[in-house]
Amino acid sequence: MVNHKESISSYQASAIIANTTLGASMMILPRAMAQAAATPDGWIALLLMSVIYIVFIFANVLMMKKVPFSSYYDYTNEGLGKWIGALVNLLIIIYFLGVASYEVRAMSEMVKFFLLQNTPVAMTMISFILVGFYLVIGGIGDLARLFPFILIVTLIILFVAYGLSVQEFKLDNLRPVLGEGFSPVFKSLNASAISFVGIEMMLFMPAYLNTQKHTFAYGTVGFLIPAIIYIFTYILVVGAFTVKETATLTWPTIALFQSFDIQGIFIERIDSFLLIVWLIQLYTSFVGYTFFAAIGVSKLTKFPKKVVLVLMGIVIYFAAIFPKDVDTVRNYLTYVNNLFFLLFGILPFLLFIIVFFKRRRNTT
């Protein structure tokens, strides 16, 4: 039974999913897609992957209604048994901590490159981790109150920024459509899939929801917000720079907003606001992953919350500081993506079959 203070609405659940999904990908996605496809057709891959994920959400909702569970951690234990379930839950925790450490490193690289060139990276990382843990300690209720507000502010700033960037957009840079067929689209599907990491949070939400009636709605809305942002981001960046130039830019989305000035108003450079939005989204993504990782570690070890956070903080810091450069960090995402498909793409269907027949046998 969930404490009323810790219960959240479907709208808040959507905001948590959207904010957790919107992380570093928004700034590097155009480059990754341009390098993978080598044609302007990356937006088609994003659109196709969005449809695939909506089908994934729908399938999971059907399974969750047929075989209800409060938490994915408990679901794995029920389906796979105590020891194998514990091992799988450990892999889930490693995955969560891996994504969290990636967000920390991406944040530190961005801050060093654009804002605080002389500040030690270690200091930036530690400060970010501590501020994130402060929100995690407050529980899901604090996340549910803060994340919707952050999401609204993010959408407003992005709407204004994207509207102003249209002056740099050239439709010819997105042509020809499917000039080399569907082969480049299929090549870039994997690069687009990484950007949607975060949708798996819907599997950990049931224990906190005050109603189970709108599971598909909150999952779909939480997913579609970042999906639409990613598609528009890619179209605007490639439309401004061409696919060849986009593939060479370290931070293509920021480069887009640095490419023009706004005359006649007190704000002449919009990229400063984009950096603020990005920092906030990295923060919310980090908090989302560390919160559910902490839940898993607590279930697995029975340690107090403060001890869990101390241990997690050490692991996240060293995992974040270990890669030598930005390119190594991006390659690190490949392993994260593989774990995502294993733990949240294949495993849910396997668990559904096992748990369904287990419960059916017990009832008979």
Higher pLDDT, 162 or 298: 298
From 3, 30, 21, 354, select the one nearest 188 (Cα to Cα): 30
| Range ranked top by mean pLDDT from 179-183, 210-214, 288-292 | 288-292
Distance CA 319, CA 189 (A): 27
Higher pLDDT, 26 or 30: 30
pTM of the model: 0.89
Say how many CA atoms lie within 13 Å of 354 toward its Cβ: 13
Higher pLDDT, 179 or 309: 309
Over residues 324-335, the mean pLDDT reads 70
| Range ranked top by mean pLDDT from 83-92, 173-182, 210-219, 266-275 | 83-92
- Looking at residue 3, its pLDDT comes to 43
- Looking at residue 121, its pLDDT comes to 85
Over residues 56-65, the mean pLDDT reads 87
Tens digits of per-residue pLDDT, 343-352?
A: 888 899 999 9
Over residues 273-280, the mean pLDDT reads 82
Residue type, 276: I
Tens digits of per-residue pLDDT, 237-247?
A: 888 888 888 88
Tens digits of per-residue pLDDT, 131-163?
A: 999 999 988 889 999 999 999 988 988 888 888
Mean pLDDT of all residues belonging to the chain:
84
- Looking at residue 24, its pLDDT comes to 62
Distance CA 292, CA 263 (A): 45
- Looking at residue 327, its pLDDT comes to 66
Encoding tokens for residue 199?
């949708």
Over residues 260-284, the mean pLDDT reads 72
Tens digits of per-residue pLDDT, 217-233?
A: 888 888 999 999 999 98
Query: Domains, the chain, ranges and CATH?
Result: 4-359 (1.20.1740.10)
Q: Which distant-in-sequence residues (6+ apart) come within 8 Å of 364 by Cβ?
A: none
The structure tokens 């490949």 sit at 334
Over residues 117-133, the mean pLDDT reads 89
Q: How confident is the model at residue 4 (pLDDT cuts 50, 70, 90)?
A: very low
- Looking at residue 2, its pLDDT comes to 40
The per-residue b/e assignment along 158-186, b for 16 or more CB within 10 angstroms, e otherwise, is: beebbeebeeebeeebbeeeeeeeeebbe
Tens digits of per-residue pLDDT, 39-53?
A: 888 889 899 989 999
Tens digits of per-residue pLDDT, 247-267?
A: 888 778 887 777 666 555 545
- Looking at residue 278, its pLDDT comes to 83
Distance CA 229, CA 280 (A): 16
Q: Which of 116-130, 176-190, 328-342 has the lowest mean pLDDT?
A: 328-342
